[in-house]
Structure 1
Amino acid sequence: MKGKLHDYHLVNPSPWPLLFSITIIVTALGAVGTIRNFYMGKLLLLVGLTSVSITLYKWWKDVITEAIRDKCHTEIVKKGLRLAMAAFILSESMFFFVFFWSFFKAWLFPVYTFDNFIPGDLITWPPRNITPLDPWSLPFLNTIILLLSGCTLTWSHYSLINKDIGSVLKMLGATIVLGIIFSIFQAIEYTHTDFAFHETGEKAIYASNFYMITGFHGAHVIIGTIFLIICWFRARKNQLSPEDHIGFECAVWYWHFVDVIWLLLFVFLYWISS
């Protein structure tokens, strides 16, 4: 900040935004290739995920350096970061809104597909040959896990404000473990479905909506878990304080957003519509 006449952070040129965009495209292509069993789809997905992880690590490392060593995060900058995180969560809400719109359209106003049209036949939801997952088995258990993780994360945030670093590490660690358990159970849940990623006819409508919404939510849980792991290491190095923990605060917002999306998923996708 030496020599500056203002409190704003003029960011130095960085390669990470462009590299992150490229790695996201590679990951998306790899995911499509894996689902459709294309040649080298899995390898492309692995390369994409690895590249995304390395890019985010380097990017976040630069941001932390700017905050701790360079003292670039003034109060005005922190307000901007909070606003940016709020805008990001709002954009993610619109992202999920699109998929929920698709799901509600298919559920409340189901239509025939050409390959199974029978005049005079009734339209049903869930479609024929689809056995929905029992909402009170793994989905309900995952709901309890996420709600509990929200409680432990709030406890950790409260402990930080009260300068109890021991409780911060314990409760934040518990939240991370619960997030990992949720992701494992989500993967196990996919092995219990009787519909695949690439179905045809009416099954395709149900399967596409199910895997799209739950899959993207699962990806957000993984990202949130990584976010919290970084906060845990920062807390262990005493880089978080009651007055200065904007990164942790944004992680808390993001995790609660993930909780809310899952509650909507459980109520409408798993429970009522089935």
Structure 2
Amino acid sequence: MSAHNQSPYYFVPHPSRHPISAAIGLLVMLGSFALWINDHDWAPYTALIGLLWLLFTLYHWFGDSIAESEGGMYGKNVDRSYRWSMSWFIFSEVMFFGAFFGALFYAREIALHQLGSLDYKLIWPDFSAVWPNEGPAALAGHFKSMTPWPVPTVNTALLLSSGATLTVSHHALRDDHRRKAIAWLAATVLLGVCFLFLQGFEYFHAYNELNLTLASGIYGSTFFLLTGFHGFHVFLGGTMLTVVLVRMIRGHFTADHHFAFEGAAWYWHFVDVVWLGLYVVVYWL
């Protein structure tokens, strides 16, 4: 019996070459980045080829999934598998951020105090264990630390507002108010774009006016690692919501069948929660 003739409840998508193709594109791209860092002149071109190949594969992969979903081929089993997959994906992201927050905690609460202890006074007699710090050798040069006002606080308001607008959109979709759902989802995407624009402005300000760069000791590296990794997740979540918005405008989803929306919403709320922790730990403490 063909997949199209099976009951939607039992349908399982056929395995395809998409995962292998995506893996090849990703390996080419990442390998080229490594060679790019090591000054190989041709590496940027192969990195671009790998990126384009990956995007091309993802476009067709997700296109097949959307076509199967809109064709009524996804039942309860497939829906459940997607929910578990998204849950584990978000869990893996929690582990990433846990490691990065752990690195910040170790630098501030353990390594910094060890370097400022009596055991190291003979080596660095003028070192003061105060955060933020230029390091005992002060190799990075003097820099100014980031403050929570105004950009980080404005960005916090933007992300919290986007979580609210996304929730309103979700409830509107569940009540089958499609126009309302589209309007509030568009507002969510717009708020995400504003967040990224302001973060870019913040980075420009840090590099050009505060002398705060990735090379600014452990403070600079952890600051840009945490905020940059989070910013990438805002971009990724915004991309998901944009795809969902386009699908909604095209008439996809029903009040009872819209997990693509729900999965993207889970991810966006996760990004909001991470930012709250980052806002307090990085900018205030």
TM above 0.5 = yes
TM-aligned CA deviation for residue 60 of structure 1 = 1.1
Tell me the residue number matched to 1:255. Answer: 268
Distance (whole Å) between structure 1 residues aligned to residue 98 and residue 129 of structure 2: 25
Distance 2:47 2:11 in 1: 36
TM superposition shift of 1:16: 2.2
- Please tell me the residue identity of whatever aligns with 1:195: L
Of the three residues 169, 178, 184, the one matched with 1:156 is 169
Name the SS for the 1:195 alignment partner: coil
The residue type equivalent to 1:110 in the other structure is: A
Offset of residue 77 of structure 1:
1.4
Residues 149-192 of structure 1: CA deviation (Å, up to 9, x unaligned): 11111111010011111111111111111111111111111111
Q: 1:270 to 1:225 in 2, by over 3 A?
A: same
Q: Distance in 1 between matches of 2:29 and 2:227?
A: 18
SS at match of 1:22: helix
Q: 2:127 aligns with which of 106, 121, 124?
A: 121
TM-score by length of 1: 0.87
Deviation readout 1:3-34 (Å, 9 max, x if unpaired): 53783333323222223233334444565667
Which residue matches 1:131? 144
AA aligned opposite 1:20: A
What's the Cα RMSD here?
2.5
Change (3 A) 1:130 1:151: same
Pick the aligned partner of 1:168 from 175, 181, 191.
181
Give, in whole Å, the separation in 2 of the partners of 1:145 and 1:164: 25
Q: Tell me, what secondary structure is at the counterpart of 2:205?
A: coil
Deviations 1:62-108 (CA, angstroms, capped at 9, x unpaired): 11011112x22101211121111111111110111111100111111
1:56 partner amino acid: L
In 1, Cα distance between equivalents of 2:90 and 2:246? 24
Which of these two proteins has the greater Rg computed from alpha carbons? 2
Match of 2:138 in 1: none
Aligned mate of 1:4, from 3, 6, 10: 6
Unaligned runs of 5+ in 2: 135-141
Displacement of 1:110 = 3.1
Determine if the alignment matches structure 1 residue 191 to structure 2 residue 196: no
Q: 1:227 aligns with which of 240, 258, 280?
A: 240
Whole-angstrom CA distance in 1 between matches of 2:37 and 2:284: 27
Which runs of 5 or more structure 1 residues have no equivalent in the other structure? none
**CA separation of 1:31 and 1:143: change in aligned 2, threshold 3 A:** farther
Q: Is the 8 A contact 2:185 2:241 kept in 1?
A: yes
The answer as to whether partners of 1:27 and 1:44 remain within 8 angstroms in 2 is: yes
In the other structure, the counterpart of 1:215 is 228
Task: Confirm whether residue 241 of structure 1 aligns to residue 241 of structure 2.
Answer: no
Pairs aligned (count): 265
* 1:46/1:217 CA distance change after superposition, 3 Å: farther
2:60 to 58, 66, 83: 58
Q: Which has the higher contact order (CA 8 A, sep 6+)?
A: 1
> What does residue 88 of structure 1 align with?
89
